[in-house]
Amino acid sequence: MIRKLAVLTAAAVMAVTSFSVSAQTAQTAQERAIQYRQGVMKAQGWHAGNMAAQIRGTKPYEKEDFARSATFLAQLMHMSWDGFGPGTDKGAPTKAKPEIWTDNAKFKAAADNAIKATATLAQAAAGGNMDTIKAAFGEVGKACKGCHDDFQAK
C-alpha cells in the first residue's frame, strides 16, 4: 500500500513537472527576450528610483547605498540591449517602437549614450560629491528620456 502510494505520488509529481516544462517551452524565444528586457528595465527603474529619492531628499543620502545602485544601474544598462534581437518587436506585449529595428544605428547610439552616462554616474557616486552626482544623474535621465522618447510607445 505504501509502495503504491509512493509510485502514485512520484507519477503525479512527474506529470506536474512535465506539464510545467512543456508550458515553458511553448513560450517563444521572442517572448522570453521581451520579458527579459522588460525585467532588466524594471530593475534599472528600481535603482534609478532609489537614487532619485536620495537626490530629492525624500530618502536620506547614504553614500554606499547610492554607489551600489549606481553600479548596478551601470551593469544593468549593458544587459537590456540583449533583449532587442530580431523578431522581438512582436510576440508579447511591448511598447517597443518599430524604429528600434528600422533605425538600428540610431538605437545603438542611444544605447551607447546610456551606457556611457551610467558609467559616469557610477564613478561620480563612488566619489561621493553630491554636485558631481547630481550632474551625472541628470545626464542619465536625459539619456533614458531620449531613448524612451524615440523608441518607446506611450
| pLDDT over threshold 60, residue 23 | no
| pLDDT over threshold 50, residue 10 | no
20 in a structural domain: no
pLDDT, tens digit (0-9, with 9 covering 90-100), for 97-111: 999 999 999 999 999
pLDDT, tens digit (0-9, with 9 covering 90-100), for 33-57: 999 999 999 999 999 999 999 999 9
6 in a structural domain: no
Mean pLDDT of the chain: 89
19 in a structural domain: no
99 in a structural domain: yes
Q: Percent of the chain having pLDDT more than 90?
A: 81
Q: What is the pLDDT of residue 20?
A: 46
Question: What is the CB neighbour count within 10 angstroms for residue 7?
Answer: 10
Q: What is the pLDDT of residue 7?
A: 46
> Cα–Cα distance between 104 and 154 in angstroms, integer?
20
pLDDT, tens digit (0-9, with 9 covering 90-100), for 76-103: 999 999 999 999 998 899 999 999 999 9
Least confident residue range of 8-17, 75-84, 111-120, 127-136:
8-17
9 in a structural domain: no
**DSSP string for the chain:** -HHHHHHHHHHHHHHHHHHHHHHHHTS-HHHHHHHHHHHHHHHHHHHHHHHHHHHHTSS---HHHHHHHHHHHHHHHHHGGGG--TTTTSSS---B-THHHHTHHHHHHHHHHHHHHHHHHHHHHHHT-HHHHHHHHHHHHHHHHHHHHHHB--
Residues 113 and 143 sit within 8 Å (Cβ to Cβ) = yes
Number of domains, the chain: 1
87 in a structural domain: yes
Q: Which amino acid is at 112?
A: D
CATH of the domain at 135: 1.20.120.10
Look up the domain containing 135 and give its range: 29-151
85 in a structural domain: yes
